[in-house]
Structure 1
Amino acid sequence: MEADSGSIEQLDDAIAAEAFRRLVRHLQHRHDAQNIELMGLAGFCRNCLADWIRDAGFDGDKAAARELIHGMPMDEWKATRQTPATEAQLAAMEASVKKNVR
């Protein structure tokens, strides 16, 4: 992909890495922002970030990637942080994900 003046590709990798780490720390702190809500608003969530780091070359399996992003094992996250999704949240997520570029 050729980078133009407004391209994210021109961002230095060290700066991008620090911004990513800040995003992950923010999401670990803001556990009140449920994954289902993130999916409904933005079409991605913490689990997506875990998938993306694996796509980028992270050597760990899915569980290890999710633990890295969530800051704890997925079972612990679900038990202590995740609330049941409502029908409205599920519908918003489905509509939002349809907007994602594939």
Structure 2
Amino acid sequence: MTDTTALEAAAFRRLLQHLNHDRPDVQNIDLMILAGFCRNCLADWYREAATEAGIAMDKEQARERVYGMPFATWKAQHQREATPEQLAAFKAAQERHG
């Protein structure tokens, strides 16, 4: 019998590796435009899952788990200001997808 939870956890770890180490150049706004979620969304989902499991976790703790470092550190190292084009594309994506 396959342990689905273990496979899902491995896939989640691989996603974090990809986003934070292999492709930190991909900005959260670009993820939001194309996929409708970003690293912060993953952190929110992680925190919600912790809460459902009875584990106290705040927003910063969840973000540190997802980013692999304090969010402020990741932001200073990797996040750029959104361009006018990105902001326009984000607005259009929000309008399309409600």
TM superposition score normalised by structure 1: 0.78
Which one has the bigger helix percentage?
2
Q: Name the structure 2 match of 1:33.
A: 26
Q: Name the structure 2 match of 1:5.
A: none
Q: Name the structure 1 match of 2:13.
A: 21
Query: Which runs of no fewer than 5 residues in structure 2 stay unpaired?
Result: none
Q: Name the structure 2 match of 1:6.
A: none
Identity, in percent, stands at 56
Listed one character per residue, the Cα deviations across residues 20-58 of structure 1 (whole Å, up to 9, x for unaligned) are 111011111111011111111111100000000111125
Separation in 2, partners of 1:43, 1:97? 8
Separation in 1, partners of 2:92, 2:38? 15
Q: Name the structure 1 match of 2:64.
A: 67
TM superposition score normalised by structure 2: 0.81
Number of residue pairs the alignment of both structures matches:
90
Separation in 2, partners of 1:74, 1:97? 24
